[in-house]
Amino acid sequence: MADSKPLLSLDGDAVAAEALLQNVFGIVVDEVIRKGTSASEKVCEWKEPEELKQLLDLELRNEGESQEQILERCRAVIRYSVKTCHPRFFNQLFSGLDPHALAGRIVTESLNTSQYTYEIAPVFVLMEEEVLKKLRALVGWSSGDGVFCPGGSISNMYAVNLARYQRYPDCKQRGLRALPPLALFTSKECHYSIEKGAAFLGLGTDSVRMVKADERGKMIPEDLERQIGLAEAEGAVPFLVSATSGTTVLGAFDPLEAVADVCQRHGLWLHVDAAWGGSVLLSQTHRHLLNGIQRADSVAWNPHKLLSAGLQCSALLLRDTSNLLKRCHGSQASYLFQQDKFYDVALDTGDKVVQCGRRVDCLKLWLMWKAQGGQGLERRVDQAFALARYLVEELKKREAFELVMEPEFVNVCFWYVPPSLQEKKGSPDYGERLAKVAPVLKERMVRKGSMMIGYQPHGTRGNFFRMVVANPVLTRADMDFLLNELERLGQDL
């Protein structure tokens, strides 16, 4: 590589640029799409940080490098990256690789436009509205608003900001001094972005009142009612409840009808964080888990998770038809949102959001939906539920595994019980010893590269595995592999 002729720039050299990209695409197809999705290949090639720095040669220098060196850089980046498209990657709430969604992402990146005006993104302005309209219809709304956000955390933060602005519009100009002490409510199983959003928006984490959840992780409406009364007694003004459809660890769905009843009685904004569970709305068999979602004021939904649309694809949906998004966030920048343009300036949607530059996140979902159809996506959701049920039944047959609870979604939570502990379940230190098993097995599987699966403690429970059944190419054989591999990795414990 050191002897290769430097290629200082491809600027203006269309032939060389095309040759480089053809080669890069070839590497991506071979190393990511073909090998990265093959069960016979590793999920990851683990290296310690200092070694990885040396292998990647991360330093940025004054001199450019040759095309051969650049292609080798691409191969190295792929080689040492985790293959989230691999059928044995169970680590996060996203996984898999949908070819149509990837095609949409490639087109999006190639066109390199910003989703703020019809002037420079005419196709995507119209497309985004059509996709959001479809998602709203699945929620149960015939009208409304929405926007694609850079992740579910931002969608949740937007919902809090919109609810606050709706009640106290003066806060946009006057800030926190226009506000009394506010209180928002969510369950202790909520995503951490609710507290982060409260801190970021100046409300403070103390404004977040944690509502009790039952043993399955669902918000208890009676405790929500109690918490609202307590907040009012302390002089705070309740303004929002954030319910969760598909909690991060247990995959629980809050009872939305009952929560909506409480919100209605107290005049509170109801936000539903369905970032994980929203795609269940596509399934006629399972959408009952979100009964009552149509009563929400806002919904966060991440198709990049269960639908495998690719990072990132996160929608914030609103029932509002009063242009609340634009009134809350707009600043009417005259150099971008001129009001005397030659087309309908209502198509310039960029003033609805806090960002200026905003990437196109609708094409990958639109193209995948065009290819799969709603029926194909419904089958994908139903298949995930069916495989999760298969895994649960197989897990019950083996002495080395213990369910945390019966799942209602595709989060299957369990302990691996090694041989040394299988006869000691009643011993005083059983829980403490069992909690040490998952971290050991996680290290072993990652160093081996055989699979990746997350673990965590939860409340009084020690570390357990959270298996996420989401990749659309998964089969029963992959579920069997998971159990067999854990037994292999832990047989000496």
pLDDT in tens, 43-72: 999 999 999 999 999 999 999 999 999 999
Residue 484 pLDDT greater than 80, yes or no: yes
- Beta-strand relationship, 314-318 and 298-301: antiparallel
CA angle (115, 25, 89) in 5-degree steps: 80
The reply to whether 465 falls in a domain is no
| Beta sheet of 237-244, edge-to-edge order | 145-149, 314-318, 298-301, 269-274, 237-244, 182-187, 208-211
Is the model's pLDDT at 8 over the cut of 80? no
Same domain, 74 and 156: no
Tell me: do 72 and 121 sit in the same domain: no
From 322, 356, 371, the end of a domain falls on 371
Structural domains of the chain, count: 2
pLDDT at 9: 66
Indicate whether 441 belongs to any domain. no
Q: 453 in a domain, yes or no?
A: no
* Token output for 132: 């959001």
Average confidence score pLDDT of the chain: 96
Residue 155 belongs to domain spanning: 113-371
51 lies in the same domain as 138: no
pLDDT tens readout for residues 160-211 = 999 999 999 999 999 999 999 999 999 999 999 999 999 999 999 999 999 9
296 plus 364 within the same structural domain: yes
Element (H or E) spanning 186, and its range?
Answer: strand 182-187
Higher pLDDT pick, 229 / 10 = 229
Same domain assignment for residues 69 and 146: no
381 in any annotated domain = no
Q: What is the reported pTM?
A: 0.96
> Is position 329 within any domain?
yes
Statement to judge: residues 192 and 335 lie in one domain: yes
Q: Which residue's entry shows tokens 């019980």? A: 417
Do residue 361 and residue 314 come from a single domain?
yes
* Cβ neighbours for 381, distance < 8 A, ≥ 6 positions apart: 279, 280, 282, 283, 286, 306, 307
Q: Are residues 133 and 34 in the same domain?
A: no
The stretch 277-290 carries a mean pLDDT of 98
Higher pLDDT, 302 or 4: 302
What's the 3-state SS for 430-485? HHHHHHCHHHHHHHHHHHHCCCEEEEEEECCEEEEEEEECCCCCCCHHHHHHHHHH
> For residue range 361-382, what is the model confidence (pLDDT) as tens digits?
999 999 999 999 999 999 999 9
Structure tokens at 446: 């990652």
Using the CB atoms, write b or e for 15-39: b if 16+ within 10 Å. eeeeebeeeeeebbeebbeebbbee
- Are the CB atoms for 362 and 127 separated by under 8 Å? yes
Which of 53, 79, 105 represents a domain boundary (last residue)?
79
Q: 208-211 and 182-187: which strand pairing? A: parallel
β-pairing, 237-244 vs 269-274, is parallel
Q: What pLDDT, on a 0 to 100 scale, did the predictor assign at position 132?
A: 98
187 and 333 inside one domain: yes
Same domain as 270, residue 194: yes
User: What distances in angstroms separate CA 96 from CA 43, 93, 102, 128, 439, one per listed residue?
Assistant: 12, 10, 11, 23, 24
Q: Are residues 63 and 117 in the same domain?
A: no
Is 230 part of a structural domain of the chain?
yes
Q: What is the mean pLDDT of residues 26-41?
A: 97
| Domain match, 71 and 156 both | no
237-282 residue pLDDT tens: 999 999 999 999 999 999 999 999 999 999 999 999 999 999 999 9
Q: Are 281 and 293 in contact (CB under 8 A)?
A: yes
Q: Please report whether residue 455 resides in a domain.
A: no
pLDDT at 350 over 60: yes
- Judge whether residue 457 has pLDDT over 60: yes
CA distance 269 to 274: 16
Q: Identify whether 356 is part of a domain.
A: yes
Last residue of a domain, one of 371, 402, 427: 371
Q: What is the CATH classification number for the domain harbouring 322?
A: 3.40.640.10
pLDDT band at 425 (very low <50, low <70, confident <90, very high): confident
* pLDDT score recorded for residue 3: 46
* pLDDT of 5: 53
pLDDT digits (tens, 9 = 90+) for 386-399: 999 999 999 999 99
